[in-house]
Chains A and B, each alone.
Chain A
Amino acid sequence: MIKFFKVKSFKDFHDHYLFWVKIFFLSLVIFGLIISLFISPADYLQGDTVRIMYVHVPSSWLALQIFAVMGVCGFITLIFKTRVFTLIAKSIAPIGFTFALISLFTGSIWGQPTWGTFWTWDARLTSMLVLVIFYIVYIILWKIISKHSLAEKLTSITSLIGLANLPIIKFSVDWWHTLHQPATIKLTESSTIHPSMLTPLIIMFLAFLSFSIIIFLIRFKLESLNLKINSNK
């Protein structure tokens, strides 16, 4: 397992399989968009507005999951000083940032017709905004600190602190009164969504996930080459 986490293995994966991941992504996203926009039924209460969910929910999930991966990578970087995890975290940060922005943006255009407001300071929305700020701080730290070893340390600490925000986002809807509704898809109980609407949601999630993998592979190769150039200087 540890052997797999080498710079070379990711680069090899990029060189050999990137094309197939792209094909996989394209077929999923086309298929997913067709079912989510045309085939899946409208909601009994919200009507067609519910289709925003098929973009909003996968992006929110990925924004959280990517930050979780960054936090774990930050932990390993700080304790075990293995460079490859720094590179992983650095390459996926902009992806998670983009998904967090998409989540906020689609959430606000979903909120207007259903709740009657674009934005409100309830716990879920506020904690999600905090996540976006953590992403911004993380990315900016990489940009402004030119010394790699220092940047590595500070960004890892940032991602570890940000990790504390994730359970707050996840459970904000249970801990506080929020305008945002509680989770629909639960790990322990049965989900409160009809299968005909769950299917496009899962497919769109897989599509977004494979998109993240594409961008990650490209960015990882780029970052590892950058590191090599800078350390040879």
Chain B
Amino acid sequence: MTSADELKQKLPAAVVSTGMQLNKPMAVIKKEELLNAARIVMEMGFDHLSVITGTDYTDRFEVVYNFFSYEKKQNLVLKVITDHDAPEVDSLTSLWKGAEWLERETYDLVGIKFTGHPNLVRILLPDGWVGHPLRKDYDMNTEQFVTMGEDGNDIVSTDGKNLLRRK
């Protein structure tokens, strides 16, 4: 029995389906039951939340959580499906401290909001960047440039007049 099936046994109401993802047991979780399922996953011994990913399928977003158990040497993948217009899932920072930066990265690049996150701001791109670049509908034609202000802060603009060489 895989750890995904174990999770389904313990919380049958939360698990939509189970399967395998790249040789790792995977379970699709209902959006409302994410925190409950995550709590049980932690009790099952998955002490390490290694990566959080957001995937854009143009009609929906999938948030993928990769867990690892150092004790059992096992992997587990959780997936949550959200709608495309206002993607929002619960934050796991109350359970895994390391989720904070991972969720900030997912917010920065994919634009998924995590309710309950203590400091949900961009982590890689500067503040003021327009759009979330890993979305399918990101505008690749308007190039954005970063310049530095007097105080050293980043200023995002589209003309890049202060940065580029005069031709």
Decide whether A and B assemble into one complex. Answer: no
Residues of B near any A CB (own CB < 8 A): none
Residues of A near any B CB (own CB < 8 A): none
